[in-house]
């Protein structure tokens, strides 16, 4: 018996050896004769190690070589704070910060010599959106809210966990351009319905805006948001590959199943600021809900033109809110050229947008929402200091769901189940656990924003002003934000519009 086993083992080993040698010979012949890769032609088989290590390089850098503050798009220290906040473990550290306070652009808050005592603190008040200009204004309670992420771009369990977490934390959930799904409604949270350039979920079969569906959706959502552009890819529409367009996604979006979902790069029916204001007024009157705009900003003309048009036509035509998305946005898959170089970062775009509204005397009319890597309390508090009413975050809430920054959002292979429709990978995202982390992250963000405000001498976060923060310009030199961006005089733009109009120049 033993001799038979020895013969069998020898025979199997011989076969495996021949297979291995044959495989190597095949790879050598293939590599030497192929014409695409120079390294493989010159170094067959061994050259494959180069591609193997290149693929692994980003993960080795993330876990072994990059320090806490140098990684992009989010460093380990930032991700670590979000993870702790989501798990309700607190943001306490010891022995000092790893944040270099001499780095240009660093945020320094101005601590008050007599911070606000606990008994003098006030709850951060909610803000009404659309009050006096629509039938059903929206009372927004949370400073921090969930930015647009479409069902299709993210998975069913991710959307449902966000919905339930938003309800528990009292924040709103933006649908993204993919339409309103049953999973958005699962938690009974406040929802903002985004109207993208393809009008998914709110369109007729020919792609035109559907008044009937808008009225139906108004029964379930608190506000509508017309998306002109997003920070990840200003000037380009979204793409969902055909293999990800399931029957369910197709039904929600109002498109054929199995065909790639491609959004136009702009609304075909909105080509100028007057057409934008017409559309805002039409949807608001049709639904009775507040209507706002989401856009990335590339310069000053858009905000100035928008304010001029509102002053010319009347405050009833103004958007009820405007969401300013910085060029550093990035949840959506996008061409690297656009993601790297298109649109202003939020640090420059937000002050300019707020100032345009102040100059036009419209700051009390239009609520401002800021977005663009504002995933920590310090970044969110900075935005409030500049003049934002709210902060939106997408990737912060993705981290709270368990995102590990694997950078595979566009490949349908997300290892945490957030951006994939692979049921096996989705199994790792347990809704009953993750919705609590979503709620914890939002709650702790609001809590620590208030903590910053109290340290600055404010009774609540909505009292934060530009003088409460300084921006590092160079080593050992910082400047107050109200000096870097001085408050403009209220109403000066309305005077300018009247003067130009009297001179026969189009206002």
Final residue of a structural domain among 65, 94, 119: 65
* pLDDT score for 337: 76
Could you give the CA distance from residue 219 to residue 180 in angstroms, rounded to a whole number? 12
pLDDT in tens, 424-482: 988 889 999 999 999 999 999 999 999 999 999 999 999 999 999 999 998 889 999 99
Tokens of 224: 């509508």
Banded pLDDT at 505 (limits 50, 70, 90): very low
Final residue of a structural domain among 405, 423, 447: 447
Mean pLDDT value across residues 152-158 = 91
73 is a domain residue: no
Q: How far is CA 154 from the centre of its chain?
A: 12
Least confident stretch, 242-251, 348-357, 488-497: 488-497
- Name every residue whose Cβ is closer than 8 Å to that of residue 160 and which is 6 or more positions away in sequence: 183, 186, 187, 431, 435
The verdict on 29 and 136 lying in the same domain is: no
| Whether the bond into 73 is cis, omega within 30 of 0 | yes
* pLDDT score for 222: 98
The verdict on 224 and 309 lying in the same domain is: yes
Which of 427, 429, 450, 389 is closest to 164 using CA atoms?
429
Could you give the CA distance from residue 388 to residue 370 in angstroms, rounded to a whole number? 6
Q: At what angle do helices 156-169 and 431-455 cross, to 10 degrees?
A: 40
The verdict on 56 and 204 lying in the same domain is: no
Residue 368 has pLDDT above 50, yes or no: yes
* pLDDT score for 44: 85
pLDDT in tens, 331-341: 666 777 777 78
465 is a domain residue: no
Percent of the chain beyond pLDDT 70? 90
Domains contained in the chain, number: 2
Selected residue with higher pLDDT from 20 and 236: 20
Residue 398 has pLDDT above 80, yes or no: yes
345 is a domain residue: yes
Percent of the chain beyond pLDDT 90? 56
82 is a domain residue: no
Final residue of a structural domain among 432, 447, 462: 447
Mean pLDDT value across residues 48-70 = 67
* pLDDT score for 211: 95
Banded pLDDT at 152 (limits 50, 70, 90): confident
The verdict on 57 and 135 lying in the same domain is: no
Task: Look up the domain containing 285 and give its range.
Answer: 131-447
CATH number at residue 374: 3.20.20.70
* pLDDT score for 388: 97
The verdict on 159 and 278 lying in the same domain is: yes
* pLDDT score for 1: 62
Q: How far is CA 242 from the centre of its chain?
A: 24
Least confident stretch, 53-67, 210-224, 465-479: 53-67
Mean pLDDT value across residues 106-120 = 95
The verdict on 32 and 177 lying in the same domain is: no
Could you give the CA distance from residue 228 to residue 235 in angstroms, rounded to a whole number? 9
* pLDDT score for 501: 45
The verdict on 308 and 385 lying in the same domain is: yes
* pLDDT score for 503: 39
Residue 359: helix, strand or coil by DSSP?
Answer: helix
β-strand pairing of 138-140 with 144-146: unpaired
The verdict on 316 and 441 lying in the same domain is: yes
Mean pLDDT value across residues 111-132 = 96
The verdict on 228 and 136 lying in the same domain is: yes
Mean pLDDT value across residues 496-502 = 52
Average pLDDT, the chain: 87
The verdict on 261 and 375 lying in the same domain is: yes
* pLDDT score for 79: 82
42 is a domain residue: yes
Mean pLDDT value across residues 3-27 = 76
pTM attached to this predicted model: 0.87
Could you give the CA distance from residue 425 to residue 437 in angstroms, rounded to a whole number? 19
Mean pLDDT value across residues 404-426 = 84
Which of 220, 229, 196 is closest to 334 using CA atoms?
229
Residue bearing tokens 């406040």 = 190
The verdict on 137 and 41 lying in the same domain is: no
Could you give the CA distance from residue 145 to residue 171 in angstroms, rounded to a whole number? 5
140 is a domain residue: yes
Residue 502 has pLDDT above 50, yes or no: no
Report yes or no: 260 and 246 within 8 Å, Cβ to Cβ: no
- Alpha-carbon distances of 348 from 38, 297, 327, 343, rounded to whole Å: 44, 9, 10, 10
* pLDDT score for 48: 79
The verdict on 14 and 141 lying in the same domain is: no
230 is a domain residue: yes
Residue 116 has pLDDT above 90, yes or no: yes
- Name every residue whose Cβ is closer than 8 Å to that of residue 38 and which is 6 or more positions away in sequence: none
100 is a domain residue: no
């Amino acid at each position: 018996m033993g001799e038979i086993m020895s013969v069998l083992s020898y025979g199997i080993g011989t076969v495996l050896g021949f297979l291995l040698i044959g495989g190597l010979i095949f790879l050598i012949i293939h590599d030497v004769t192929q014409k695409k890769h120079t390294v493989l032609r010159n170094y067959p088989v061994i050259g494959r190690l180069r591609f193997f290590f290149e693929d692994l390089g980003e993960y080795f850098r993330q876990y072994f070589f990059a320090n806490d503050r140098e990684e992009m798009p989010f460093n380990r220290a930032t991700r670590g704070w979000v993870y702790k906040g989501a798990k309700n473990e607190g943001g306490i550290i010891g022995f000092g910060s790893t944040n270099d306070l001499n780095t240009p652009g660093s945020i320094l808050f101005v601590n008050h010599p007599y911070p606000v005592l606990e008994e003098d603190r006030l709850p951060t008040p909610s803000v009404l959106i659309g009050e006096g200009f629509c039938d059903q204004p929206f009372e927004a309670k949370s400073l921090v809210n969930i930015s647009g992420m479409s069902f299709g771009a993210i998975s069913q369990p991710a959307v449902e966990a966000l919905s339930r977490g938003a309800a528990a934390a009292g924040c709103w959930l933006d649908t993204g351009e993919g339409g309103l799904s049953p999973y958005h409604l699962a938690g009974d949270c406040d929802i903002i319905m985004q109207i993208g350039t393809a009008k998914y979920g709110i369109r007729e079969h020919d792609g035109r805006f559907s008044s009937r569906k808008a009225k139906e959706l108004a029964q379930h959502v608190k506000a509508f948001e017309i998306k002109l552009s997003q920070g990840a890819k200003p000037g380009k529409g979204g793409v969902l590959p055909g293999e990800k367009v399931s029957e369910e996604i197709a039904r929600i979006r109002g498109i054929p199943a199995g065909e790639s979902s491609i959004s136009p790069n702009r609304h075909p029916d909105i080509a100028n600021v007057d057409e934008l204001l017409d559309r805002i007024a039409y949807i608001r009157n049709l639904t009775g809900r507040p209507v706002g705009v989401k856009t990335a900003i590339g310069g000053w003309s858009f905000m100035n033109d928008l304010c001029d048009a509102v002053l010319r036509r009347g405050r009833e035509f103004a958007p009820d809110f405007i969401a300013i998305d910085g060029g550093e946005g990035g949840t959506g898959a996008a061409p690297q050229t656009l993601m790297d170089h298109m649109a202003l970062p939020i640090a420059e775009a937000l002050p300019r947008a707020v100032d345009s509204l102040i100059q036009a005397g419209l700051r009390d009319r239009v609520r401002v929402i800021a977005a663009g890597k504002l995933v920590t309390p310090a970044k969110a508090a900075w935005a409030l200091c500049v003049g934002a009413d709210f902060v939106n975050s997408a990737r912060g809430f993705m981290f709270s769901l368990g995102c590990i920054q694997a950078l595979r959002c566009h490949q349908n292979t997300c290892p945490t189940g957030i951006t994939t429709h692979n049921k096996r990978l989705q199994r790792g995202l347990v809704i009953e656990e993750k919705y609590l982390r979503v709620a914890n992250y939002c709650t702790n963000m609001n809590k620590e924003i208030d903590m910053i405000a109290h340290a600055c001498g404010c009774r609540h976060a909505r009292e934060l002003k530009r003088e409460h923060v300084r921006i590092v310009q160079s080593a050992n030199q910082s400047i107050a934000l109200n000096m870097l961006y001085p408050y403009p005089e209220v109403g000066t733009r309305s005077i300018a519009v009247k003067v130009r109009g009297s001179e026969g120049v189009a206002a």
